[in-house]
Amino acid sequence: MDILDKLTILAAAAKYDASCASSGSNRQNTPNGLGNASEAPLGICHSWAADGRCISLLKLLFTNYCIHDCVYCINRRSNDIPRAAFTVNELVDLTINFYRRNYIEGLFLSSGVIKSPDYTMELLLQVIKRLRIEHNFNGYIHVKVIPGASRELVKEVGCYADRLSVNIELPSEQGLKKLAPDKRKEDILVPMAYIGNQIQAFQDERKVLRSAPLFAPAGQSTQMIVGASPESDFQILNMVEKLYQKVRLRRVYYSAYIPVNPNNPLLPTGITPPLKRENRLYQADWLLRFYKFRADEIVNSDHPFLDTELDPKTSWALRNFHHFPMDINRVDYEHLLRIPGVGLQSAQRIVAARRFSALKLTDLPKFGVVLKRARYFITCNGQYLEKTDNDIYIRQKLLAESTTHHEGSQLQQLTLF
């Protein structure tokens, strides 16, 4: 088969993986080497595809042949689709030549499972070893860990990759049993915990010895499909919070379920991908990671689903009006972060600027504060922009504004870096 055909098939087969980050690695270029994953702490996007998602890494499957029969997956064994497999050489050549032309930040390598998890993992390992050792490649490499692969292999892969990820696939064990009958929960969680411990161990070693080897310096991430099984956002975010705290994941990706295998009785039918819900989950995820929110503040058993109409922070603020209004000149940084329309940067700028003089409400747009949302929640020296505690009124106002602003773009996706 022609390399062009392989690329088309195996890129199309890999596109449902949401992860695109090329950030967080500290792998520097070596003398006479190619690539530098450390230059871009925030990652670099090289292009944007027609679905508005960024292209940072060359995202490919080694093969889309698979022994598993996961109900939601396009590459399941029982699907009648064109199949292909790269050779190690072909993949290495593509990566190097794309990288040299600055098309990509590196490689994102995943695969269908052929023969056995170990056999497949071994193939992926060959590719990245070849890149690192023979080609002195120091670009970013993200490898998907094949569930069920042996520890030794996972450890070796971690020594060459920048980021590892094990897909959690579905947000509950029941979902997994029903939709991915060949995958066991232990095959996912055990390697995840193992990788987490290894990363920690290698980091500790590096603190003592600067030249200690790297192990997945950009950490570990995971992905789950949203909307294929009935879990609530409350369940999802609670689980995610634990993953961040206990396994210290860098990122969790949410992927709106796209019905790639129609007519399966186990799956919801006739739905459009829940993109808005996915968007709100990402926003909630940001609140967990950067805004010091707890999962049970964002959703709880009374409100198990995120509000699709309003962003999670505004929705939290409306339910907790007793915290507001906040005085821009007085409340500390942590509290500023809780105000809808105030982001990390604007909060920092406010804190820096008010050391010089008291701020006025009209100063706020300079700091990047979105007054459209913040106006109901703030005061300045006793002044209000709009004094109300009527949450229904605020909701209506915000909705009216958001429809005139983003007409027809209800499906807007969040920028991920």
Partner 1 sequence: MRIYIYDGSFEGLLTAIKQCLTYNGEVSEITTPERYQPDLFSDGMEIKTISEEARKFYRQLEGLSKEITATISYAFLSEQSGVEMLIYEYIKTVFRYGVEVITNMNHPAIYKLYYLRRKVLFEIGRYHGFVRFQQLPNGIFYSPIEPDYNIVQFLAPHFSARFADQRWMIHDIRRGTGIFYDLTHCVYLSWVDRNHPLIRLVLEHPEENALPANIMELKYQRLWKDYFKAIAIQERHNTKVQRQHMPRRYWKHLIEDVEV
| Per-residue interface string for the shown chain with partner 1, residues 361-380, x marking contact by CB under 8 A | --x--xx-------------
Residue from the set 79, 114, 203, 273 that interacts with partner 1 by CB under 8 A? 273
| Strand duo 106-110 + 57-61: pairing | parallel
11 contributes a contact to partner 1 by CB under 8 A? yes
CA distance 163 to 33: 20
Shortest Å distance, C-beta 225 to partner 1:
13
CA distance 338 to 335: 5
Q: Which is nearer to partner 1, 49 or 209 (CB)?
A: 49
Shortest Å distance, C-beta 357 to partner 1:
7
291-350 positions binding partner 1, by CB under 8 A: 349
Shortest Å distance, C-beta 200 to partner 1:
29
Q: Which is nearer to partner 1, 33 or 304 (CB)?
A: 33
103 contributes a contact to partner 1 by CB under 8 A? yes
30-69 positions binding partner 1, by CB under 8 A: 31-36, 39-40, 44-55, 58-59
Query: Across-strand partners of 326?
Result: 378
Other C-beta atoms closer than 10 Å to the C-beta of 94 total 19
Q: Which of 64, 218, 255, 236 is nearest to 138 (CA)?
A: 218
Apex CA 82: angle with CA 80 and CA 84, to 5°? 130
Find the radius of gyration of the CA atoms of the chain.
Answer: 23
Shortest Å distance, C-beta 281 to partner 1:
15
Shortest Å distance, C-beta 97 to partner 1:
5
Residue with tokens 């006025």: 360
Shortest Å distance, C-beta 222 to partner 1:
20
CA distance 178 to 27: 40
The count of residues interacting with partner 1 (CB under 8 A) is 62
DSSP labels for 212-239? SPPSSTT-EEEEEEESSS---HHHHHHH
Bond prior to 325 in cis (omega within 30° of 0): yes
Is the CB of residue 111 less than 8 Å from the CB of residue 120? yes
Give the helix ranges, DSSP H, for 161-184: 173-179
Q: Which is nearer to partner 1, 15 or 77 (CB)?
A: 15
Shortest Å distance, C-beta 409 to partner 1:
6
102 contributes a contact to partner 1 by CB under 8 A? yes
In this structure, is the dihedral angle defined by the CA atoms of residues 29, 34, 40 and 42, taken in order, positive or negative?
Answer: negative
Q: How large is the angle between the packed helices 117-129 and 88-100, nearest 10 degrees?
A: 40
SS3 state of residue 57 = strand
Write out the H or E segment, with its range, that includes residue 251.
Answer: strand 251-256
Residue from the set 24, 112, 117, 139 that interacts with partner 1 by CB under 8 A? 139
Residue from the set 147, 249, 258, 299 that interacts with partner 1 by CB under 8 A? 258
Residue 374, CB-side half-sphere exposure with 13 Å CA sphere: 24
Token digits of residue 246 = 């206990």
359 contributes a contact to partner 1 by CB under 8 A? yes
Residue from the set 98, 215, 316, 377 that interacts with partner 1 by CB under 8 A? 98
Shortest Å distance, C-beta 55 to partner 1:
6
407 contributes a contact to partner 1 by CB under 8 A? no
Q: Which is nearer to partner 1, 55 or 190 (CB)?
A: 55
Q: Which is nearer to partner 1, 3 or 266 (CB)?
A: 3
Q: Which is nearer to partner 1, 59 or 234 (CB)?
A: 59
3 contributes a contact to partner 1 by CB under 8 A? yes
Is the CB of residue 295 less than 8 Å from the CB of residue 240? yes
Binding site for partner 1 (CB under 8 A): 3-4, 7-8, 11-12, 14-16, 28-29, 31-36, 39-40, 44-55, 58-59, 94, 97-98, 100-103, 136, 139, 256, 258, 272-273, 275, 349, 352-353, 355-357, 359, 363, 366-367, 409, 411-413, 415
